[in-house]
Structure 1
Amino acid sequence: MGGLIKSSVAKKFAMALSGLFLVLFLGQHFTINFSSVISPDTFNEWSHFMGTNILVQAVLQPVLIFGVVFHFVMGIVLEIHNRKARAINYVSYKGNRNSSWMSRNMIYSGLVVLAFLGLHFYDFWVPELVHKYIEGHPEDAGRYYGELVEKFQDPIRVILYVVSFIFLMLHLLHGFSSSFQSVGWNNKYAKGLRGFTVAYAIIIPLGFIFIALYHYINNL
């Protein structure tokens, strides 16, 4: 039993670290995308750097992909483990009184986010690979803004992005703060950190939604 507990704790710890890493990337990704609203030239410059820098392409990008896969695989493993642990149901148990909707449905919000990532890779990452490595086009540092705007001219795609980021918000509202608890962050700054994670979980997804709606409406 002790080995099982340690294993479960280790899995939660590893999942928390991967989640915090993905949250850090999310903020960086938002900063670049939001620059498209303020300055197309800045967006092109930053996007070109991310798309051509050898460190980003050869090191950070594979680490990011591994982090995404690892985080969601661990989430599924822990969900299966938790369901087995709850095999005996108590009549007096009231889920909505003991935990929030977000915490009880992390696996579902996570699956929606994972599906969105598949769409996002299909929309941006795969075309980028085709453009550079299959079709062999020369580097064009000014093409990124136009490609972004073109993607958001499809109202169906915009709706899917909006819905996906709402689910990301729900996922982060529980997951971000609980990640710090899983890694043992419990001190006098914990309350303030909780406030920061809630603000981050709301502002960043709403920011992405704003970007999608801005480019759709601005180019009608």
Structure 2
Amino acid sequence: MGKLSASIAKKVAMALSGLFLVLFLAQHFTINFTSVFSEETFNSWSHFMGHNYIVQFIFQPILIFGVVFHFVMGIVLELKNNKARKISYKSYKGNSNSTWASRNMIISGAVILAFLGLHFYDFWVPEIVHKYVESNPEDAFRYYTELVQKFESPVRTGIYVLAFVLLMFHLWHGFASSFQTMGWNNKYSKAVKGFTKLYAIIIPLGFIVIALYHHFFNQIPH
């Protein structure tokens, strides 16, 4: 019973961390999407996020912990499930046992984690260097140019697109599963599941549109 309770607790913790990251993803998308239609709005919101002490020293550490915890816990649970599973995937036929997304959560999750490393290298590390290492003066108008410059490279843009396609598959199974793990089973269950599927498509697709837009239509002249 103790092992069962511990296993359930891990799954609930995994689900809660996933739901937290889904909220962050929506907030991150909202800010980034403003770069498509308003340079001023994007700079304003990015500057606020980059200089608000609550965001920087409370929410940001919580976010970093949540990312690491979610993916480490996911790998641990997936390895445990693979070990306990009696039916080999060699016998898998069509969708009779599970979907591709559910069978490859560990793969999509690992690729997304690697992408987040690239994302931190592209945006978070330069931000830290700019503010705390080089001690540059505050500049509320630099964010838009820095964002667009990141998508000049076709290789980097392609990596971003691929990562968000995999995120789409990851969310397609994982977002809905989080509610199931939390015991969500009432008259709203069908509507919630529909919402998670729409979210899994719209948010990653939106990030892809942002990357492609800046790569093809919005290059900064040198």
Q: Same fold (TM over 0.5)?
A: yes
Tell me, yes or no, if the aligned pair for 1:30 and 1:208 is still in contact at 8 Å: yes
TM-score (norm 1): 0.96
Correspondences of 1:1-220 after superposition (within 5 Å): 2-86=1-85, 88-89=86-87, 93-94=91-92, 96-219=95-218
Greater shift, 183-192 or 89-98, is seen at 89-98
* Number of matched pairs: 218
SS at match of 2:155: helix
Distance of 2:56 and 2:88 partners within structure 1:
51
**1:93, distance to aligned residue in structure 2 (A):** 4.6
SS at match of 1:43: helix
**1:4, distance to aligned residue in structure 2 (A):** 1.5
TM-score (norm 2): 0.95
Decide whether aligned partners of structure 1 residues 89 and 138 sit closer, same or farther in structure 2, where only a CA change above 3 A counts. same
Distance of 1:34 and 1:91 partners within structure 2:
40
Tell me, yes or no, if the aligned pair for 1:153 and 1:219 is still in contact at 8 Å: no
Distance of 2:48 and 2:160 partners within structure 1:
25
Letter in 1 for 2:33: F
Distance of 1:92 and 1:210 partners within structure 2:
37
Letter in 2 for 1:10: A
Decide whether aligned partners of structure 1 residues 91 and 149 sit closer, same or farther in structure 2, where only a CA change above 3 A counts. closer
Letter in 2 for 1:218: F
CA deviations on 1:78-100 (whole Å, 9 max, x unpaired) are: 012112212x4469953641111
Letter in 1 for 2:80: H
Distance of 1:134 and 1:106 partners within structure 2:
38
**1:3, distance to aligned residue in structure 2 (A):** 1.5
CA deviations on 1:56-87 (whole Å, 9 max, x unpaired) are: 0010000000000100110011012112212x
Decide whether aligned partners of structure 1 residues 218 and 91 sit closer, same or farther in structure 2, where only a CA change above 3 A counts. closer
**1:6, distance to aligned residue in structure 2 (A):** 1.2
Query: Percent sequence identity over matched residues?
Result: 68
CA deviations on 1:148-171 (whole Å, 9 max, x unpaired) are: 011111111000000000000000
SS at match of 1:98: coil
Letter in 2 for 1:146: T
